[in-house]
Chains A and B, each alone.
Chain A
Amino acid sequence: ETGVTQTPRHLVMGMTNKKSLKCEQHLGHNAMYWYKQSAKKPLELMFVYNFKEQTENNSVPSRFSPECPNSSHLFLHLHTLQPEDSALYLCASSQDPSGSSYNEQFFGPGTRLTVL
């Protein structure tokens, strides 16, 4: 596998379910990101992990819980979601998220989530 992979690609869940999204990067990067992409809205950054440490949480509701066990894997645990959480969830990675570098982010294909 190369690049950034995400599973599952599609997920339908009820509001009482618990599910997890998985992201894996094969690029040797240090930072990983979760984004939410809703229809007709700009990309929203949710979480950033740098060397496995969470460095950014953009006021995301607690029903979204990230986990980063190592620099190559990132999870997004979901529970008691709302229908408005239905969106495309994109994972990205970059080599160096610090301000001293401009490293671009590389994205996975996303998980299309539908909450019923």
Chain B
Amino acid sequence: AQKVTQAQTEISVVEKEDVTLDCVYETRDTTYYLFWYKQPPSGELVFLIRRNSFDEQNEISGRYSWNFQKSTSSFNFTITASQVVDSAVYFCALRGQGSNYQLIWGAGTKLIIKP
């Protein structure tokens, strides 16, 4: 069975602090893809990043960075120098190999950045 766990239901930090959102996944597939999406209060899910299981290089995009570790089945997301506009619900998702194109979603982490 495939599963995505985002253990942090809600995180609240003060602006300019760094914050890490955890994502742990379970799958027996050798090929799989991991995603992070952001859902601001407007409701639209915004795609942030995709990572495939063969690429364990960490990625940095501006203030965002992602740490993929197959050994611990984790794909954590760090926001550096957080800003109020980063306040949103963040979802981690998994897609296995084969013809099953369904995304397995985590429950989401609500991130609150206080000014």
Contact = CB atoms under 8 A, between A and B. Distances in A.
A102 B44 contact: no
A2 interface: no
Interface of A: 31, 40-43, 45, 48, 56, 88, 90, 92, 94, 97-99, 102, 104-110, 112
Contact of A104 (B35, B42, B107): B35
B44 A98 contact: no
B99 A98 contact: yes
Given A45-B103, A112-B43, 12 more contacts: A48-B101, A90-B45, A92-B45, A94-B101, A99-B100, A102-B33, A102-B50, A105-B47, A105-B103, A107-B37, A107-B45, A109-B43
Contacts of B50: 102, 104
A42 B99 contact: no
9 contacts: A31-B101, A99-B97, A99-B100, A99-B101, A102-B33, A104-B35, A107-B44, A107-B45, A109-B42
B101 A98 contact: yes
A42 B92 CA distance: 11
A59 to B, nearest CB: 13
Contacts of B47: 104-107
B105 interface: yes
A99 B33 CA distance: 11
B98 interface: yes
The 4 A-B pairs of least Cβ separation, nearest first, read A107-B45, A97-B101, A110-B43, A99-B99
Contacts of B45: 90, 92, 107
Interface in B54-104: 91, 95, 97-103
